[in-house]
Structure 1
Amino acid sequence: METKGKSSKIIIGAVLGALFLTVIIGGLIVNKNNKAINQLSSENTKLETVVQERDSMVNEFISAFDSIESSLTFINKKRGQLVLNQDEMTVSQKDAIVRDIELMNTMLEESSIKIEKLEKDLKNSGYQLSSFKKKVASLNKQIEQQNQQIAEFQLKFEAQSQQLAMVSYEKDSLQNEVLSIQDTIQKRDELLAQMKDVIGQQTYELNKGFFAYGTTKELTDNGVIEKEGGFLGVGKSKIIPPNFNQDYFTKVDITEDRSIELNAKKVKLISEHPVESYKLIEEDGLITRLEIETPQEFWKMSQYAVIEVKM
């Protein structure tokens, strides 16, 4: 019986040992699996982070590309709208072109800075994104072309601005010269007008003539003539005194007025006038008028004609 009891204990001990060993081995396997799972989870997290970083960088590149392409499209359209006026350019038009050129240059400079940053980021990322490299190279080429075209336009604009400035200067100089000529002409016309007035006044004075006629008594009483010389009243001659009464005379234009109405029986000229310069017209027994045939001769010796008549 004792032997049987011992055998049972040995069997039980063996079973317990086997179970213990199984538990230990199972625990080791579980620990190993947990480590593998944790490592895989860590690697998966790292991979997800890398993917997220790459996706974020790609999105940033795409956004930058869109921004640069939008700027280049705007610049290309704006440059196509710039037109140089061949004849004349107002100050406002010129200022607008200058502002547009400055805006395009600023946008191109900003685009170049963005491209430079993209190239740097792409290089530092370690990713081999060949399509992005091609896109960056294409944008760089477009920016270079736009810079060249804007530079060429700016040179033409500056050259035309200088040409228009020269034309404007010459135009202003010509206008000033015209104004100076006009001022000279105006002054000349004013001087000519003054000279004309002076000449007209001188001509008027030269062409003035005065005549007075009447009986001896009328002429004497009005201070036109007086008697001098003779002896005891005999042989006195009639003369025009130095201070004769000019108000008694009638004024005429010697170039136009060539006839003096008399209607007298007898006529005698007290003032001196060439006989051949005038004639007396007689009608119906009366001397009706004195006709002046050569005015310059008639009035040469005196502007005052004194005619004595007997009615």
Structure 2
Amino acid sequence: MKQSMKVGMVLLVALTVAMWFGISSVSKKKEVLTSQYNELETQMFEKESAFEDMLTLYDKVEGQISDILEKENLIQHQGNDRIDRRNNEKIFKEISMIDDLIFRSKQDLRQLEDEAKSANLKLGVFEKRINGLQAELNERATVITTLKAELSKKDETLALMISQQDSLNQTINAQLTDLEEKALKVQQLTAQNSELNKSFLAIGTFEDLQSKGVVAKEGGFLGIFGKRVALQEEADEKSFMTVDRRNVQKLRIEAASLSLVSSHPLGSYQILPGDSEAEQVLEITDPESFWKVSKYLVISKKI
């Protein structure tokens, strides 16, 4: 009887352990699936928001092109009448407004193309519509150039006004192009600097860091010196927080003690007590030397 009870107890314990591991496994899978769902939901929301912004900009350009066409028809009608001082001022005003609409539409189209590329969406049909707008805008620009030439032949005063306006527009466009090129160079240099200064940070207890595959114990002799905690070079970068090392000079960390797992020269940093016993401060005193060996900063803490 006692033997049967022992066997029954062993089976009960085994069943309980199996159920616990099963529940734990299901719970972990549920956490992973929930995390993946939330990530997908966020991505969908961002894509939907980006697409709505592009549609708004598309409608704006489409409306501007319609305005250009309407003003073209108005100028052509006025140009058929006898041109006098009163009439040429009206015509010139409409021409100036068309020039402005063409300029703004080109800027908006460029922005629309950039947003379509950066949104990383498969928008084959939408890209065709953008190309259609671009072709229509080019056609309107060609028509207005021809119209200007025809009107200039009819009236010397209007011809002078159009010539001066075109010259001013060319100067402004050249200056804007120059500014855009400089802004692009600054953007590229900034991106290069950000990439050069990109580093990876991980902070946690040894157990936390180990579970993420960031650190492992290796080498040494158990019972004498113990095993050394080492950074896992093949660790997934997703396990780290991406930081700009230029912004990491002083880290206040909730911990009783800290130690650096990643390699950094002694004298390039110091660990100081914080404002309370439960806080430690890592201060990087020589950033150039500190980051010279490794772009990873891994901090093991004890709470």
> TM-score normalised to the size of structure 1?
0.48
TM-score (norm 2): 0.49
